[in-house]
Amino acid sequence: MDADFTPEKIRWIVQGMIILLLSIAVHEFGHAYAADRIGDRLPRRQGRLTLNPMAHADPIGTLLLPLLFLVSTSGLGFGWGKPVEHTTHDRKKRVYISFAGPAMNIILGTVVAIIHCALVVSGALRVDHALSTALGYAVVLNFVLFFFNLLPAAPLDGGSVARGLIPRSWLDTWDKVAVYAPFVVMAFILIGPLGQVFTYPARFCMAKVYEGLAMVFGTDTLTWYLKAVFRL
């Protein structure tokens, strides 16, 4: 464990926790909002229809593990929020609710990328500033959360999406196999090469978003920065 708490390390820990808390909150809010839109008021009654991070925070998955990871490494790690409960049994509506969380991460990542580009192009933020790096990591984290959560394995959102889309005749077999799905998820988290399944498309999409924004803003500064810092 890296115990060298330099000012830069402390700043990174604080920034990383803020990024994770906001990203997880937006994700869980997406589930709650989708459920509320189709008439399921349970998330609203439970206080989940909010962007307040504390309403969605899980003590271990949102606070403890991410903090330990940030302290011991230079990466953002992973985390999860408190699951949003709903009473919907309709398969199509459940797919809608499940997909809404990852979709919110794509929206947040894209919005942060736009803000990042606007700040750099306007001169309000240097491209090599620590905040610029934090914004870049916020973008890539949210794209990673999108692709990771859509892996077709329980308890990830992708497992619920897949279950809602497969033929009904396959459901019994799916449910029997789903018992082992959490072990598959852990394998993707712990085995580096397997992680490329969701980190590669996340980084690819991030690069394309920034390249598109660079064209819109008429600058190649951020494109160069992504290649130099994030190796995209």
Q: Give me the pLDDT at residue 232, please.
A: 53
Q: How confident is the model at residue 69 (pLDDT cuts 50, 70, 90)?
A: confident
Contact of 76 with 19, CB cutoff 8 Å = yes
Q: Of the candidates 193, 186, 110, which has an alpha carbon nearest to the alpha carbon of residue 146?
A: 110
Q: Of the candidates 81, 76, 91, 64, which has an alpha carbon nearest to the alpha carbon of residue 163?
A: 91
pLDDT above 60: residue 146: yes
Which one of the listed residues 8, 28, 85, 211 is annotated catalytic? 28
pLDDT digits (tens, 9 = 90+) for 157-168: 999 999 999 999
Angle between helix axes 181-190 and 192-217 (nearest 10 degrees) is 70
Whole-number mean pLDDT of the chain?
A: 86
Q: How many CB atoms lie within 10 A of CB 50?
A: 16
User: 12-21, 55-64, 180-189 — which is least confidently predicted?
Assistant: 180-189
pLDDT digits (tens, 9 = 90+) for 171-227: 999 888 888 888 888 888 777 788 888 889 998 888 888 888 888 887 766 666 666
User: How far apart are alpha carbons 84 and 38 in whole angstroms?
Assistant: 15
Active site residue 28: yes
User: How far apart are alpha carbons 55 and 49 in whole angstroms?
Assistant: 9
pTM: 0.89
User: How far apart are alpha carbons 202 and 224 in whole angstroms?
Assistant: 18
Quick check: bond before 43 cis, omega within 30? no
pLDDT digits (tens, 9 = 90+) for 74-101: 666 677 899 999 998 898 999 999 999 9
pLDDT above 50: residue 38: yes
